[in-house]
Amino acid sequence: MTSLLPSTRSSSTRDRRRSEAEVARDLATRRPLVLLAALGGIAAAVSTLLVCLAVGVVGWFLTDAGAHGTPRDGLRSGALGWLLAHGSGVSVQGAAVTIVPLGVTVLCAWAIWRVGHRVGESVSGHGPDATRIADGERDLTVPVATIVFALGYVATALVAVRLAGTPATSPDTGRVVLWSLVLTALAGGCAIAVGSGRAAIWASFVPAWARAALAGCRRILVTWLVVSLATFAVALVLDFSTAVNVMSQLHTDAGDATLFTLLSAMLLPNATIFSGAYLLGPGFTVGVGTLVSPGAVVVGPLPMFPLLAALPDAGPPAGWTTYLVAVPVLVAALGAAWAQRRVPTLRWEEGAVRGLAGGVLAGLVFGLLAAVAGGAAGPGRMRDVGPLAFDVLVYAVAAFGIGALLGGLATTWWQRRGADADEQA
């Protein structure tokens, strides 16, 4: 019988192990907030900066096997590429280049998110617990960590400007600071909030319809970017021979071709946004006095760059291109319906509000992306390259809003129909 009784020794051992685990977890989540957040910001900046520096050195060597210049020139080129991704702009032989390679910017945002998430996990034990936060107690853990994280990132960016910038290249320090603050606030702040668990607590205070609208916005925007990328890929494949001809006329060897491919990959997000602006209707410019849209294609002499092979031929477009304006409406309707299937509702007004709010928000976000996707790409006519940002914003809000509203109402009708059939059964 005594063997069935709980052992006092084993019970005390379990309690001690449990307390040791709690202490270890508390220590792991209460690391020095200021020090860890500052190091996290520096690490997020340095990680992508080192990648760009390595690419710069490799590119310097591939161009002419290192016959001209020094490795320091490759390092400076890599650093300037990293600064370009932060909106710095550069001067190349007196010509301003302000277009942002969004591929590098996305890489920087991903690094900020990953490091910020780890910082959030490490400082999650600071401040009040979930119960006290729910009771209204002030919690400054995430704001303080985000501010310190941003300061570490900005400090690294300023060092890069100091070391890489020259009077000839003249990168814009103010724009670098602004872009760094925006990236760390959006990607870094959100990552710290998620990693620390605060985002889940704050989400409980957000109305259900607002959370559903945000989910719809995300689904619409992702679907639209996928459709835009697919459209660009199809256009490039259909005229791939032109891209190959451009490469042949440039007399590129294997090293130069590799650099062109890498540069094209950096600008692939820009091309995707250009494609989305085209599908929406307003289109984009590839030089002063040019326009590429479903209604008109007016282009002049273009630089020899392979991605430009995806442009349609100049002149009156085919008649079927006018029907492309229906694509954003359909994409928004499908995105809203897809999002509402995961969080169903039987109320007409809630389905309408979810869809409309999600579509309008997705239109605003895409309009902002269109505003940052363009810029100056060289001298002369190439001073104006990019989507017609304001027109794209207006068209995107209208098309996505209407499409998502219709999608939300249609999905609500379908879900109400299914609920009625279940009741009758």
Q: Are 167 and 253 contained in the same domain? A: no
Q: Are 346 and 251 contained in the same domain? A: yes
CA atoms within 13 A on the CB side of 266: 19
Q: Are 267 and 201 contained in the same domain? A: no
Residue 390 belongs to domain spanning: 207-425
Domain end among 182, 205, 228: 205
Q: Which pLDDT tens digit goes with each residue over 300-339? A: 888 888 888 888 888 888 888 888 889 999 999 999 999 8
Q: What total number of domains does the chain contain? A: 2
Query: What residues in the chain have per-residue pLDDT under 70?
Result: 1-30, 64-69, 128-137, 250-256, 422-423, 425
Given this model, what pLDDT does residue 372 score? 94
Q: Spell out the residues 6+ positions from residue 127 whose beta carbon is closer than 8 angstroms to its own.
A: 133, 139, 140, 141
Q: Are 237 and 180 contained in the same domain? A: no
Given this model, what pLDDT does residue 4 score? 39
> What is the Cα–Cα distance from 145 to 30, expressed in whole angstroms?
12
DSSP 50-97: HHHHHHHHHHHHHHHTT-SS-HHHHHHHHHHHHHHTTT--EEETTEEE
Given this model, what pLDDT does residue 129 score? 62
Q: Are 225 and 255 contained in the same domain? A: yes
Q: Are 211 and 177 contained in the same domain? A: no
Q: Are 138 and 255 contained in the same domain? A: no
**Token pair of 234 as six digits:** 């199809």
Given this model, what pLDDT does residue 21 score? 52
Domain end among 178, 205, 232: 205
Look at residue 304 and tell me if it is in a domain. yes
Given this model, what pLDDT does residue 226 score? 96
Distances in whole angstroms, Cα of residue 289 to Cα of each of 135, 292, 297, 384: 59, 11, 11, 9
Buried b (16+ CB within 10 A) or exposed e, 218-228: bbbbebbbebb
Given this model, what pLDDT does residue 220 score? 96
Q: Are 195 and 233 contained in the same domain? A: no
Buried b (16+ CB within 10 A) or exposed e, 150-163: bbbbbebbeebbee
Given this model, what pLDDT does residue 416 score? 85
> What is the Cα–Cα distance from 198 to 133, expressed in whole angstroms?
9
Q: Residue 285: which H helix or E strand, with range?
A: strand 284-286
Q: Could you give the dihedral angle defined by the CA atoms of residues 26, 45, 101 and 176, in that order, rounded to the nearest 10 degrees?
A: 110
Q: Are 324 and 374 contained in the same domain? A: yes
Q: Are 315 and 284 contained in the same domain? A: yes
pTM, rounded to two decimals: 0.88
